[in-house]
């Protein structure tokens, strides 16, 4: 399978799209009226979300996003409370462009504002899951790929389903036993389901899977449509949901802590942030500039998809939340040696992203829309609304008086049973420079933006765990500048050193804390708060933090996860203990076989 999903083969007649591939329409007549009647009314919306703090709608077939716009419009009018959250999980194999979707939406002027917002945040054409924050408490999690495989990777319970694939006679795979079984797995008890189709095989399969199915009068030229309800007796036994936390304690005011706080604040939760230093961004997150660009792999693995998902979310999240402290630029990425040249070549022979985001150049790659961020301005913007406690060291979760503790303390996470961490000393050089912005990297980097020139950086073992500026590191960084931008002199620069926490496999972790805590992330001591952590971000904290914050708060609140299950698993803090246990078992089996 190519790594870039196909575009749909469309014919658009009077703004109504038709799939040439499947020989079927996306909607007929007044599409908006059709969506409201078939799906919103068919699932009892908006009445079904009355008094709910969060509600989840899932759909098969994202199409032009018209279902989402109809749903979003109803949510704006009938939102249960200012803090209520609406999650939309959608599954699409062939994503159309934002321009095409906007043309289709233009048939309904009342949707103009919502359409503009959606099209400005339109998902990228890339396999896997993307979490997109739309405003009004609405979050879209779009899975791009073949339906059955994508559904198997989803994690969340839908309160309502819009089954909006092409007709079973045109696209039978969308209505297969495997697909509908996954729909059932992802359905909350008493979830409601609506569809245009009343095909007998679909009705029989849903009945076998525990839905009460009925045919009701159709809409427009369609004589009948389908409504169904998940029978409580058919739902799989589920553990009771964790109590919803109201007060959150975030330990650490670096980039991970700031994003964790922001994710909680945006959900209407109270947040206290505790920082041992006298201000936010005092540690590894406090360099004069952060350059955010991806690390893309030629192989399509869970780890590669994790890096891709982090990049796609960071590109949207940083400008949305800290626009005054962020600028976009093209980052030129040069290969380091023949092995990386080969990696770049393989990457571009089957690219995971469109040329508008990633393109080749003679001596490397260009990451279009990379970000330069001023942490000293950006992090306080993320922390607005939180109670900030500086010069304060928290030793145990019980000290905080919170319902949920999120540990984002860098190397300090070891106090909270974090996975093994390695400290890496990073030093950069900087000076004020108002010149034209640029970014270039080859392992080292040089970036000029937002009135600063920054270059470096070292990534050495931290001897003794202290951040020390060294002449050796300064010489290394000057060599980086001379190699990448020999036209720029290194006079008048200042040095800054900090300790970065990283893991043995160089991937960060996000989720429930370690071995002394149970599987739900609850503190071992009786009555203690739940505890989750983000750590091991290494030198890519500004890339990873927005996604990891969404992941842990989604887990804690029982929301749909923003990642594929296999991708979330490779970021689980307990993966290290699980690997050690497997190695121990393997070694024991080997000894037994020999003995």
Domain range enclosing 99: 10-234
- The answer to whether residues 216 and 253 belong to one domain is no
Residue 5 lies in a domain: no
Confidence of residue 165 (pLDDT cuts 50, 70, 90): confident
- The answer to whether residues 436 and 548 belong to one domain is yes
Residue 589 lies in a domain: no
- What whole-number distance in Å separates Cα of residue 108 and Cα of residue 85? 25
- The answer to whether residues 230 and 256 belong to one domain is no
- The answer to whether residues 212 and 342 belong to one domain is no
pLDDT tens, residue by residue, 344-392: 999 999 999 999 999 999 989 999 999 999 999 999 999 999 999 999 9
The arithmetic mean of pLDDT across residues 59-86, rounded, is 97
- What whole-number distance in Å separates Cα of residue 8 and Cα of residue 6? 6
- The answer to whether residues 205 and 254 belong to one domain is no
Domain count, the chain: 2
- The answer to whether residues 296 and 160 belong to one domain is no
Domain stop point among 234, 259, 290:
234
pLDDT tens, residue by residue, 38-53: 999 999 999 999 999 9
The arithmetic mean of pLDDT across residues 14-40, rounded, is 87
pLDDT at 514 over 70: no
Neighbours of 562 (CB within 10 A): 28
pLDDT at 518 over 50: no
CA neighbor of 106 nearest in space, from 14, 6, 205, 9: 14
pLDDT at 177 over 60: yes
pLDDT at 526 over 80: no
* pLDDT value of residue 520: 38
Q: What is the CATH number of the domain that holds 47?
A: 3.40.50.150
* pLDDT value of residue 69: 98
Domain stop point among 179, 206, 234:
234
Residue 427 burial (C-beta neighbours within 10 Å; 0-12, 13-18, 19+): buried
- The answer to whether residues 105 and 126 belong to one domain is yes
Q: Residue by residue, what is the 3-state secondary structure of 57-74?
A: EEEECCCCCHHHHHHHHH
* pLDDT value of residue 1: 58
pLDDT tens, residue by residue, 431-476: 999 999 999 999 999 999 999 999 999 999 887 678 899 999 999 9
Whether residue 483 contacts residue 442, with contact meaning beta carbons closer than 8 Å, is answered with yes
pTM, rounded to two decimals: 0.94
- The answer to whether residues 55 and 115 belong to one domain is yes
Neighbours of 168 (CB within 10 A): 18
Residue 593 lies in a domain: no
Residue 560 lies in a domain: yes
Confidence of residue 527 (pLDDT cuts 50, 70, 90): low
Q: What is the CATH number of the domain that holds 296?
A: 3.50.50.60
- The answer to whether residues 202 and 255 belong to one domain is no
Percentage of the chain lying above the pLDDT 90 cut: 81
Q: Is 444 helix (H, G, I), strand (E, B) or coil?
A: coil
Q: Which residues pair with 301 in a beta bridge?
A: none
- The answer to whether residues 203 and 306 belong to one domain is no
- The answer to whether residues 211 and 294 belong to one domain is no
- The answer to whether residues 386 and 420 belong to one domain is yes
Confidence of residue 284 (pLDDT cuts 50, 70, 90): confident
* pLDDT value of residue 17: 86
pLDDT tens, residue by residue, 243-283: 889 999 999 999 999 999 999 999 999 999 999 998 888 88
The arithmetic mean of pLDDT across residues 234-251, rounded, is 81
């Amino acid at each position: 399978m190519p790594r870039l999903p196909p575009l749909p083969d469309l014919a658009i007649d009077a703004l109504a799209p038709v799939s040439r591939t499947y020989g079927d329409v996306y909607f007929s007549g007044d599409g908006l009226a059709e969506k409201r009647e078939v799906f919103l009314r068919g699932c009892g919306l908006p009445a079904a979300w009355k008094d709910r703090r969060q509600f989840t709608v899932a759909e098969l077939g994202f199409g032009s996003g018209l279902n989402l716009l109809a749903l979003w419009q109803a949510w704006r009018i009938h939102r249960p409370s200012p803090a209520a959250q609406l999650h939309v999980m959608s599954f699409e194999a062939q994503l159309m462009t934002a321009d095409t979707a906007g043309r289709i939406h233009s048939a309904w002027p009342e949707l103009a504002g919502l359409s503009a917002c959606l099209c400005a945040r339109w998902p990228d054409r890339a396999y896997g899951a993307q979490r997109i924050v739309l405003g009004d408490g609405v979050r879209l999690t779009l899975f791009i790929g073949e339906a059955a495989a994508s559904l198997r990777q989803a994690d969340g319970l839908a309160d309502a389903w819009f089954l909006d694939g092409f007709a079973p006679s045109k696209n039978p795979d969308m209505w297969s036993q495997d697909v509908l079984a996954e729909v059932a797995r992802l359905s909350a008890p008493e979830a409601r389901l609506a569809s245009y189709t009343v095909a007998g095989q679909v009705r029989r399969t849903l009945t076998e899977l525990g839905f009460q199915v009925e045919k009701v009068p159709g809409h427009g030229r369609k004589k009948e449509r389908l409504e169904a309800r998940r029978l409580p007796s058919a739902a799989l036994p589920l553990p009771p949901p964790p109590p919803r936390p109201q007060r959150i304690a975030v330990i650490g005011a670096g980039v991970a802590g700031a994003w964790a706080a922001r994710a909680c604040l945006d959900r209407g939760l109270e947040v206290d942030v505790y920082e041992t230093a006298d201000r936010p961004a005092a540690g590894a997150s406090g360099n004069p500039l952060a350059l955010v660009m991806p690390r893309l792999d030629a192989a399509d693995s869970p780890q590669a998809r994790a890096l891709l998902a982090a990049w796609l979310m960071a590109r949207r999240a940083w400008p949305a939340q800290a626009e005054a402290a962020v600028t976009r630029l093209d980052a030129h990425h040069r290969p380091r040696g023949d092995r990386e040249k080969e990696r770049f070549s393989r990457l571009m022979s089957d690219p995971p992203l469109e040329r508008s985001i990633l393109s080749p150049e003679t001596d490397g790659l260009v990451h279009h829309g990379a970000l330069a961020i001023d942490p000293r301005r950006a992090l306080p913007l993320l922390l607005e609304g939180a109670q900030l406690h500086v010069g304060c060291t928290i030793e145990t979760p019980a000290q905080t008086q919170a319902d949920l503790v999120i540990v984002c303390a860098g190397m300090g996470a070891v106090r909270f049973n974090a996975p093994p961490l390695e400290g890496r000393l990073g030093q950069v050089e900087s000076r004020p420079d108002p010149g034209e912005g640029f970014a270039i990297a080859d392992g080292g980097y040089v970036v000029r933006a937002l009135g600063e020139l920054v270059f470096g950086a070292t990534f050495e073992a931290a001897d003794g765990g202290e951040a020390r500026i060294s002449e050796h590191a300064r010489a290394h960084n000057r060599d980086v500048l001379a190699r990448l931008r020999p036209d720029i002199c290194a006079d008048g620069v200042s040095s800054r050193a900090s300790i970065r926490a990283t893991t043995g496999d160089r991937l960060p972790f996000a989720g429930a804390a370690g071995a002394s805590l149970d599987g739900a992330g609850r503190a071992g001591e009786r009555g203690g708060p739940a505890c989750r952590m983000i750590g091991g971000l290494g030198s890519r904290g500004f890339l990873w933090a927005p996604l990891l914050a969404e992941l842990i708060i989604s887990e804690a609140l029982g929301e749909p996860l923003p990642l594929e299950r296999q991708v979330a698993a490779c970021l689980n803090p307990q993966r290290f203990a699980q690997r050690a246990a497997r190695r121990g078992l393997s070694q024991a089996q080997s000894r037994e076989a020999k003995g």
